[in-house]
Amino acid sequence: MAAKIIDGEAVAKTLTDQIIADATELTAAGRPPHLVAVQVGENPASKIYTNMQRKNCEAAGLEYELLELDEGISQNDLLAKIDELNNDPKVTGLILQMPLPSQIDARQVQVAISPAKDVEGMHPENMGQLFYGGGIVSACTAAAAVELLKQTESNLAGKEAVVVGHSEIVGKPIAAMLLQSLTESPTVTVCHIATKDLASHTKNADILFVAAGVSQAKWRGYNRKKKAGEDVSLPDLTPLITGEMVKEGAIVIDVAINRIPKGFDSGGAPLKNDKGKNAMKTVGDVDFEAAKEKAAAITPVPGGVGPVTVAMLLKNTIACAKAMA
């Protein structure tokens, strides 16, 4: 029997309904949640994201401000601006847009954001709170992935959970979140692209999170070398997790969002669409069509983790605003 498709849009709507109620209450009390996104220089991809942030914030009743700074800003001047925002009582949440120019140490600036206004949940203090089961915010994408699991299966005790990917923003925090309960946590195994015999782990997973972004990395590497004039073979953009690697009846949460070409011509160039641009598709790390025939439940890409990640950003903004009250 085909898997249940986990509807991220529906879960995001439920979360957003509560966010709207909380924002209305805070605003009525004279303490409106106010999110500031800091962007250095111009970046088309970042612009798409900030437009989405603004749209979702305004729809939920949160104040949103995009602070656009000159691309040539120095590290010290940027840190001074972050400090100014940290000390502004009207600002209840801060987000630093990536990428940053080469003269900026992104990690240093990220750490400079006050933990109390860190709506991405990426400050070391907030990350550290995960290990103690506390804190008011957590990494948005990881929190979204775990929320989708909990909306699908409430009884995790004794189950085998495998996380493929060990990044600071997704894989590691997912593992920490799954281990919060002393009595009801699953057994967690963390794998990554260097794991030997990955299939031996995934085939044992009652719960499988995949967040490696392998196809995207391969495409970018190939594209970079191709533009540099190097002689490279076509990349293998098949999904990291095939249907054979999924346990019968597993819950599969595909976190990855890979934008890759639909195909290549005989010269190794991506196929074009009717507008003459690269014909691209959005896929995850899991072979969705094959996996859905074996899994009990699975997230689609897009429409799974993505919408809930946006809701988690707003939820964290509300949490920071409440804590500052």
Q: How confident is the model at residue 117 (pLDDT cuts 50, 70, 90)?
A: very high
Q: How confident is the model at residue 1 (pLDDT cuts 50, 70, 90)?
A: low
Q: Which residue intervals of the chain bear CATH 3.40.50.10860?
A: 25-123
Region 292-300: mean pLDDT is 98
Q: Dihedral of the CA atoms 43, 49, 303, 155 (nearest 10)?
A: 120
pLDDT per position as a tens digit, 63-81: 999 999 999 999 999 999 9
Q: 188 phi and psi, to 5 degrees? A: -110, 130
Give the three-class secondary structure for 266. Answer: coil
CATH for 138-306, options being 3.10.450.40, 2.60.120.560, 2.40.50.140, 3.40.50.720: 3.40.50.720
Q: 68 phi and psi, to 5 degrees? A: -100, 120
CATH number of 25-123: 3.40.50.10860
DSSP letters of 45-107? HHHHHHHHHHHHHHHHT-EEEEEEE-TT--HHHHHHHHHHHHT-TT--EEEE-S---TTS-HH
DSSP letters of 150-196? HHH-S--TT-EEEEE---TTTHHHHHHHHT--SSSPPEEEEE-TT-T
| Rounded CA separation 211/57 (Å) | 26
Q: Which are the contacts of 21, defined by CB distance < 8 A and separation ≥ 6?
A: none
Bridge partners of residue 283, in order along the sequence:
258
Q: Which are the contacts of 110, defined by CB distance < 8 A and separation ≥ 6?
A: 96, 122, 123
| Rounded CA separation 161/159 (Å) | 6
Task: Calculate the average pLDDT of the chain.
Answer: 94
Region 152-181: mean pLDDT is 95
Q: Which two tokens stand for residue 12?
A: 């995001």
Q: Dihedral of the CA atoms 2, 257, 147, 29 (nearest 10)?
A: -140
pLDDT per position as a tens digit, 188-197: 999 998 999 9
Q: Which residue intervals of the chain bear CATH 3.40.50.720?
A: 138-306
- Is 43 a residue whose pLDDT tops 80? no
- Is 48 a residue whose pLDDT tops 80? no
pLDDT per position as a tens digit, 205-214: 999 999 999 9
| Rounded CA separation 309/116 (Å) | 20
Q: Which two tokens stand for residue 199?
A: 């299939």
- Is 141 a residue whose pLDDT tops 90? yes
Q: Which are the contacts of 278, defined by CB distance < 8 A and separation ≥ 6?
A: 261, 270, 271, 272
Region 169-174: mean pLDDT is 96
- Output the pLDDT for position 132: 86
Q: Sign of torsion, CA 12 301 222 270?
A: negative
Q: How confident is the model at residue 44 (pLDDT cuts 50, 70, 90)?
A: confident
